Amino acid sequence: MATEQELSDFLKSVEKRSFKRTVYHVQDEDAALDIVQDSMMKLAEHYGDKPAAELPPLFQRILSTTTLDWFRRQKTRRALFSNMSELESDDTQSDADLLETLAGGDWVQTESAESAASRAETLRQIEDQLAQLPHRQREAFLLRYWEEMDVAETAAVMGCAQGSVKTHCSRAIRTLAKALKSKS
């Protein structure tokens, strides 16, 4: 059984990564913040009594489900209000300042301005390509390589077979590599 401190420490440890992952998915920072907060509340309310070791996969599954629910609501809203232009959702993507994000990290910048700009441009291109991946490929890729989960954990979070996770990741990597090679 996780103590309140263990639960609090766990939520603090996943907060930033979960937010960034969700922003990749929904392309809306406000919605991403709501999704992460809702997921954290659901974990605390429904699974706060679970052992601390079980919290990471439970939270990732809750976050994935909450994100999927958000997409379903958006699809329904668009269908209901498709003829009412004043009520349509704004589909423009917010451009997060990647340099600002990287500057907020805990690392000390010791690289030249040129290499920092080059790295920032590469990361921006990766983010753009991630946003264009199909939902399941993006989810598998982010869980495996952003959240550093193994195949079994990713399959449990996504609610699919391990082979599906491998296929989604493989396709995502191929698509990203192809897109990035064509831009360089």
CATH number, domain containing residue 139: 1.10.10.10
**Residue 183 in domain:** no
Number of domains forming the structure of the chain? 2
Digit-coded pLDDT (tens) for 7-55: 999 999 999 999 998 998 888 999 999 999 999 999 999 998 899 999 9
Cβ(48)–Cβ(2) below 8 Å:
yes
pTM: 0.57
Say which residue the tokens 């449990």 belong to: 156
Structural domain boundaries, residue 123: 114-178
**Residue 143 in domain:** yes
- Tell whether 72 and 8 lie within a shared domain: yes
Among 158, 144, 171, smallest CA distance to 67 is for 158
